[in-house]
Amino acid sequence: MTALRIAVRGTVRAFTPRDRALLFDRSTSSDHAVRDTTARLLARVRQDGDAALRAMAQEFDGVALDAIEVPRRSWERALDALDPALRRALERAARNIRTVHEAFKPSAQSVTTADGVVIGRRPDPLARVGVYAPGGRATYPSSLLMGAVPARVAGVGEVIVCSPPGADGRPSDVLLAAAALAEVDRVFALGGAGAIAALAYGTDTVPAVERIVGPGNAWVAEAKLQVSSVVAIDSPAGPSELLVLADADAPVEVIARELLAQAEHDPAAAVVLVSDAADLLAAVEPVLARMITDAARASVIRDALAARGALVLADSLDEAVAFANSWAPEHLALMVAPAREAAVLAALRNAGTVFIGPSASVAFGDYMSGANHVLPTGGLARSYSGLSTLDFVRWTTWQRIGPDAAATLAEDVGVFADAEGLPGHAAAARQWRRA
């Protein structure tokens, strides 16, 4: 059995500067090569449009595109030809995603601040959004559903999908089938930073959108960050992350499988086990090493563990929680004694999604539970939330101020405006004064 290489091992209080850098510097923008290459790719698309997109498909995907857009009849054929069991799974996932996001759909609100003064806020669906569905090492129809179905629930006018082309110049059949199920409007065979640039700036073929959502590799995440001054984004979601927070009684085999499952996404995936039980940490490693020998994506898993894997010992469960909040993972698997779950969950503030208990596999959230799996990475769970219907609306605020209410506000507003040196504002308010 090949020895298992794990990037960081040690106690929370004894991390070296190298350990801290590997654990916490997960943003793509800390990589100058990724940042600079992405900037050049965005500039190419902004300048040359479709010609740049075709050249990038040849350069990065090894394919000459007959057409950038995939015709609807191709999606419909892909759905008709889909394996029945897989179709049932996709349909079930789509139903659950729709149910969850319908339940959390934002609604209009209003409040009266004084007699005759009513302030309201109304969620208005965006006109057009772009959903990025990753490809390359693996195909992710689940990500397409996670982006497109909530957009439809929110009432978005036009939903556009971009996904990398395969050897035949199209995204995979299962992804096209998911596009048909999600009832998107258009699909483009575009991947990487080029796709993000096309959605942000628009080309002769690809229309510009109001928001870009969906996960991707380091270049996709960086591209979303760089275009965020032009178009709204969900969050710069990059390679997958998992932190397992476990106590001494957590099941070793289950922990190992969860770590393996998320590490198989990408060599840049980050997986961490933190526990206050040294014996548990010691027990997980050989089980993980054994499981990897039979894993179909063993080389990807090994690379991920060697680059971003960690086994971390905390002095107490409180210290483990503090570490988790600082690391701010995309996914957090909580495996502690049932009597402690509620208190620990309440203390966990920074995670894309928390999975409670050993049977709450992250895989269920990835595909079927209905909660969204498009989540912040790179520590951005400290300030970003997972994708939801909120990402597909903008809020219109309105104010109704009647004449009687205006009369009661006029002098106070005039005094305020005088203090700020804005006499026009003062006059506009005081015209409503009553003698």
Tens digits of residue pLDDT in 286-295: 999 999 999 9
Domains of the chain from N-terminus onward? 8-29+239-382 (3.40.50.1980), 32-234 (3.40.50.1980), 402-430 (no CATH)
**Catalytic residue check, 341:** no
The 3 state secondary structure assigned to 231-274 is CEECCCCCCCEEEEEECCCCCHHHHHHHHHHHHCCCCCCEEEEE
Length of the chain in terms of residues written? 435
φ, ψ of residue 161 in degrees (nearest 5): -115, 135
**Catalytic residue check, 331:** yes
Of the candidates 158, 330, 411, 425, the residue annotated as catalytic is 330
Tens digits of residue pLDDT in 372-422: 999 999 999 999 999 999 999 999 999 999 999 999 999 999 999 999 999
DSSP designation for 60:
I
Tell me the HSE value of 347 on the side-chain side, using a 13 A CA sphere: 16
DSSP designation for 208:
P
Instruction: Report the pLDDT value the prediction gives residue 29, as an integer from 0 to 100.
Output: 65
- The pTM score is 0.92
Among 211, 195, 272, 212, residue whose Cα is nearest residue 240: 272
Instruction: Report the pLDDT value the prediction gives residue 216, as an integer from 0 to 100.
Output: 84
Tens digits of residue pLDDT in 134-174: 886 668 899 999 999 999 999 999 999 999 999 999 999 99
Of the candidates 102, 331, 373, 425, the residue annotated as catalytic is 331
Q: Which residue has the tokens 């050989």?
A: 286
Q: Rounded to an integer, what distance in angstroms lies between the CA atom of residue 151 and that of residue 9?
A: 42
Around Cβ 92, how many Cβ atoms within 10 Å? 13
- For residues 159 and 152, the answer to whether their CB atoms sit within 8 Å is yes
Q: Which segments within 108-174 are labelled E, that is strand?
A: 109-114, 117-125, 128-132, 158-163
* Secondary structure of residue 10 in the 3-state scheme: strand
pLDDT band at 278 (very low <50, low <70, confident <90, very high): very high
* Secondary structure of residue 354 in the 3-state scheme: strand
Instruction: Report the pLDDT value the prediction gives residue 235, as an integer from 0 to 100.
Output: 83
C-alpha 399 chain-centroid distance: 34
Give bridge partners of residue 244 from the DSSP assignment.
273, 333
